[in-house]
Structure 1
Amino acid sequence: MKNTYSLLILFVITILFSACGPTISGTGEQSFKTSKAKMEEKLDKTEKEDLEKALRVIMLKAMKEKWNSPEKNEGKTFDKMVMEMIDGKTYSAIISYAEDFLKADRDEKIKNAETEIDSLQKEKIKTEAIIKKIAAFKLTKISISEDESFDEKQPYLDLVFTNTSAYNLTGEYMFNIEIFSKKTGQRIAAQGQGGTWNDDYVLKPNETFEDHQPLLSEAVAHTNLWKTAEYPIIDFSPYDLVIKAYATKITTKKEGTIERPKANAAYFDTEIKKLNEEIAALKEQKGTLNELELTNK
């Protein structure tokens, strides 16, 4: 029992000694330098480095607070804010104050990332729903034929789109054509096409829309096999071509004009993956000064 009391007394004395150690003065630059030098007299090399780390972390806290609450901190310099934060604090209090900020900042970043993931997931669902609606104006046939333009025969791209939706399509429409090299995957050419159907024209469910236009010049120049080609061409591999076409805008009386979003599902998946990796890395952080490296000492 006696030993227990002795240990308890020793613990209390240690706490009191720590609490009553030298404190930093934040009343002015000179008093800060003097009080800091006095504090460092009782610190070893590692503790001095931790003190410097803590002061830099507290500077970051000041910068963050001024950014988040400019009106509250109007007219205050970062140095002034730091002085107010550390005034009267002991070494251990300064270390704790800095590490509390590191932990709070880490937790805030995790929460913000989780909120952003939730937002991205909702946007992904909306985007996929829109793309699905537009994809109902579906490319169902593609080929290359030969036709004349300015009294000269040349390759023409023939596209057939089918309205696979349950609604009539009318008004504005648009589709993109993208042509790639089969060997390299590099995009050779791209072009948007579209227009507006007359008010009395309706593309009913299961009806088709045909588009006949000159093959994009970059695709024509990509190969010299056109003179010996046998039309119609449905296999583009011998010409080192991959041709894609997809709707980017449709109009229905029920929903009006619907445009394809610039972002697709893959974009959201990539961004969500990055954020999950960021969260995992943040959760590994303990929020201590030991995790920080002191540079430019």
Structure 2
Amino acid sequence: MKNSYTVLMLFLIITLFAACGPTISGKDEKAFKSSKAKMEEKLDKEERENLEKALRIIVVKAMKEKWNSPEKYEGKSFDKISMEIIDGKSYSAIISYAEDFLKADRDEKITNKTAEIDSLEKDKLKAVKITQQIDAFKLTKISISEDVFFSDDPKQPFLDLTFTNTFKENLIGEYMLYINIYSKKTGELIASEGQGGTWNDDYVLKPNENFDYHQPLLHNAVQHSNLWKTAKYPITDFSPYDLVIKAYATKITTKKGGTIERPKADVTYFDAEIKKLNEEIKALK
């Protein structure tokens, strides 16, 4: 029993001695350098490296403190805040402080990123719901024909689109269509245009009725190919012309639901952001 007591006391004395070793002074730059040099005399190479890392981490802590509480630290530099943090601390206390900060900072980042994922998941569900609604004004046919804009104009390619109202209610009010035309070979966007208008009480698009779009093919798309003169219309295969044509509604209006606008961010955006955040969380753990 006596031996156990002696060992315990010896352990406490050694621990106390270690804790009461050289400390860093944060009084000023000169005192800091002098006290740091004295501390390093008692440290081996690995400990000196750990001390340098810990001091750099404490500067990051100081930056974060000032960023989060600018009024509290008004007029104080990052170095001054760092000095106040380390003043009077031993080597072990500095290391522990830096480790505690890193752990707390990591946990905070994980919490924030997790909350961001939850928010993105909710926004994604909203975007999916709205997209499903607006996609009910469905593109059902697409082709290129030949026509004239004015009677004395030469014939030129016209883009023909048919949208079907698959809603269970009438479409009335503002609408907007968007047309994107890409190069099939490169995927490059060649031409893009939005066209819209308003369906008033005199023109209501009822369920299962079609809306036909017939306008000149966008200029850059026409210029992209030299095969139009020998083309056989109507054209439904755009591959020989190196074209991919996509058209969709970005805005529609129903009497009951009001105006519905396509979300600027689609599902792929949300999935990519959520994946990135999950990878960042994994790296932090």
Which residue number corresponds to residue 237 of structure 1?
239
The offset of 1:2, in angstroms, is 5.5
For residues 26-105 of structure 1, the aligned pairs below 5 Å read: 26-105=26-105
Structure 2 SS opposite 1:249: strand
How far apart are the structure 2 equivalents of 1:249 and 1:106? 43
How far apart are the structure 2 equivalents of 1:255 and 1:84? 60
Aligned residues: 283
The offset of 1:73, in angstroms, is 1.5
Deviations along 1:78-117, one digit per CA (max 9) or x if unpaired, are 2221121111111100110011101111111111110111
The offset of 1:208, in angstroms, is 0.8
How far apart are the structure 2 equivalents of 1:258 and 1:120? 20
Which residue number corresponds to residue 204 of structure 1?
206
Which residue number corresponds to residue 192 of structure 1?
194
How far apart are the structure 2 equivalents of 1:115 and 1:71? 27
Structure 2 SS opposite 1:168: coil
Amino acid at match of 1:238: P
Which residue number corresponds to residue 154 of structure 2?
152
How far apart are the structure 2 equivalents of 1:238 and 1:54? 64
How far apart are the structure 2 equivalents of 1:224 and 1:27? 79
Deviations along 1:125-163, one digit per CA (max 9) or x if unpaired, are 111111111111111111111111342111111111111
Structure 1 unmatched ranges of 5 or more: 284-297
How far apart are the structure 2 equivalents of 1:98 and 1:12? 24
Which residue number corresponds to residue 173 of structure 1?
175
Deviations along 1:24-50, one digit per CA (max 9) or x if unpaired, are 122222222222222112111221121
How far apart are the structure 2 equivalents of 1:145 and 1:89? 82
Query: Is the 2:176–2:196 contact (alpha carbons within 8 Å) kept by the matching residues of 1?
Result: yes
Amino acid at match of 1:280: K
How far apart are the structure 1 equivalents of 2:7 and 2:215? 93
How far apart are the structure 2 equivalents of 1:127 and 1:108? 28
Superposition CA RMSD, Å: 1.5
How far apart are the structure 2 equivalents of 1:130 and 1:56? 48
How far apart are the structure 2 equivalents of 1:80 and 1:241? 63
How far apart are the structure 1 equivalents of 2:100 and 2:240? 66
How far apart are the structure 2 equivalents of 1:40 and 1:179? 67
Question: TM-score, normalised on structure 1?
Answer: 0.91
The offset of 1:197, in angstroms, is 1.7
The offset of 1:74, in angstroms, is 1.7
Structure 1 SS opposite 2:208: coil
Structure 2 unmatched ranges of 5 or more: none
Identity of aligned pairs, percent? 75
For residues 216-295 of structure 1, the aligned pairs below 5 Å read: 216-283=218-285
Deviations along 1:220-272, one digit per CA (max 9) or x if unpaired, are 12222211222112222222222111110001122221111111000000011
The offset of 1:183, in angstroms, is 2.6
The offset of 1:6, in angstroms, is 4.3
Amino acid at match of 2:24: I
Question: TM-score, normalised on structure 2?
Answer: 0.95
| 2:184 aligned to which of 182, 185, 188 | 182
How far apart are the structure 2 equivalents of 1:184 and 1:86? 58
